[in-house]
A and B are shown apart, each in its own frame.
Chain A
Amino acid sequence: MLALLSDEQQMLKEVAAQLAGSAGPANPGDLRTLDRDAAWRSLAQSGLLALRTRDDGRPAGSGVEVAVVAEALGAGLVPVPYLGSAVLATELLALAGAHDEAEALAEGTARTGVLLDRDLSALAVLPGDQTVYGWDVDGAADALALTAVPGGHQVVRVSLATGFTAANGADLTRTLLRSDGPIDAAALTPVGGPLSDEHLRRWEALALTALSADTVGVMRSAVARAVAYTKERVQYGVLIGSFQAVQHMCAEAYVQAEAAASAVNYAAWAVDELDPDEALLAARTAKVQCATVAREVTETVMQVFGGIGQTYEHIAHVHTRRALTDRQVLGDEGVHLLRIADVRLTGE
Chain B
Amino acid sequence: MDYRDTAEEAEFRASLREWLSTTIPAGWDKIEDEDEAVRLRKEWHRTLYRAGYMGLSWPEEYGGRGLSPVYDGILNEECGNLNAPPLPSVGYIGRAIFMYAGEEQKRRFLPPLLSGEVSWCQGFSEPEAGSDLASLRTTARLDDDHYVVNGQKMWTSGGQYADWCLLLARTDPDAPKHKGISAFLVSMTEPGVTCRPIVIASGEAETAEVFWDDVRIPVDQRLGAPGEGWRIAMTTVTYERGPADIGFIANYRRTLRKVEALAAERGLLDLPETRKALARAYVRGEVLRLNCMEQLSMRVSGRPPGPEGSVAKLLWADAEQSLQHLAMDILGADEMTGVADGWLSSYFTSRPVSVYGGSAQIQKNIIARMLDMPR
Residues of A within 8 A of B (CB): 1-6, 9, 64, 227, 230-231, 238-239, 241-242, 244, 246-248, 250-252, 254-255, 258-260, 262-263, 265-266, 269-270, 273, 285, 288-289, 292, 333-334, 337-338, 340-341, 344-346
Q: Report the interface size for chain B: residues with CB under 8 A from the other chain.
A: 47
Could you list 25 A-B pairs, sorted by A, with CB under 8 Å? Answer: A1-B70, A2-B1, A2-B297, A3-B1, A3-B3, A3-B296, A4-B294, A4-B297, A241-B368, A242-B375, A246-B373, A247-B368, A248-B364, A248-B368, A254-B367, A258-B291, A262-B290, A263-B287, A266-B3, A269-B2, A292-B283, A337-B283, A340-B283, A344-B260, A345-B275
Q: Tell whether, in the assembled complex, residue B367 and residue A337 are in contact, meaning their CB atoms are under 8 Å apart.
A: no
Q: Tell whether, in the assembled complex, residue B373 and residue A231 are in contact, meaning their CB atoms are under 8 Å apart.
A: yes
For A2, A230, A246, A263, which residue has the most chain B Cβ atoms within 10 angstroms?
A: A2
Q: Given A9-B1, A254-B367, A262-B287, decide whether A3 and B297 contact each other with a Cβ distance below 8 A.
A: yes
Question: In the complex, A273→B4 CA distance in Å?
Answer: 9
A-B complex: 10 closest residue pairs judged by Cβ atoms:
A247-B368, A341-B275, A251-B364, A251-B367, A340-B279, A262-B291, A337-B279, A241-B373, A239-B374, A241-B374
B73 within 8 A of A: yes
Encoded as 1 (CB less than 8 Å from any A CB) or 0, chain B from 266 to 290 comes to: 0001001001101110110011101
For B291, B293, B373, which residue has the most chain A Cβ atoms within 10 angstroms?
A: B373
Sample of 18 further A-B pairs with CB below 8 A, known A3-B296, A269-B3: A1-B5, A1-B6, A5-B1, A242-B375, A247-B373, A248-B361, A250-B367, A259-B291, A259-B311, A259-B315, A262-B290, A262-B293, A263-B283, A263-B287, A266-B290, A288-B283, A333-B280, A341-B278
Q: Given A231-B374, A266-B3, decide whether A1 and B297 contact each other with a Cβ distance below 8 A.
A: yes
Interface residues of B in 65-102 (CB under 8 A from A): 70, 73
Question: In the complex, A230→B308 CA distance in Å?
Answer: 21
Query: What is the chain B residue whose CB lies nearest that of A342?
Result: B275
Question: In the complex, A230→B368 CA distance in Å?
Answer: 11
Q: By DSSP majority rule, is chain B's interface helix, strand, loop, or mixed? A: helix
Q: Tell whether, in the assembled complex, residue A227 and residue B1 are in contact, meaning their CB atoms are under 8 Å apart.
A: no
Question: In the complex, A282→B258 CA distance in Å?
Answer: 22
Q: Tell whether, in the assembled complex, residue A250 and residue B290 are in contact, meaning their CB atoms are under 8 Å apart.
A: no
Residues of chain A within 8 A of B26, CB atoms compared: none
Question: In the complex, A110→B278 CA distance in Å?
Answer: 44
Question: In the complex, A266→B291 CA distance in Å?
Answer: 10
Q: Which of B276, B290, B291 contacts A337 (CB 8 A)?
A: B276
**B301 CB to closest chain A CB, in angstroms?**
6
**B299 CB to closest chain A CB, in angstroms?**
11
B300 within 8 A of A: yes
Q: Which of B283, B300, B314 contacts A289 (CB 8 A)?
A: B283
**B294 CB to closest chain A CB, in angstroms?**
5
**B309 CB to closest chain A CB, in angstroms?**
12
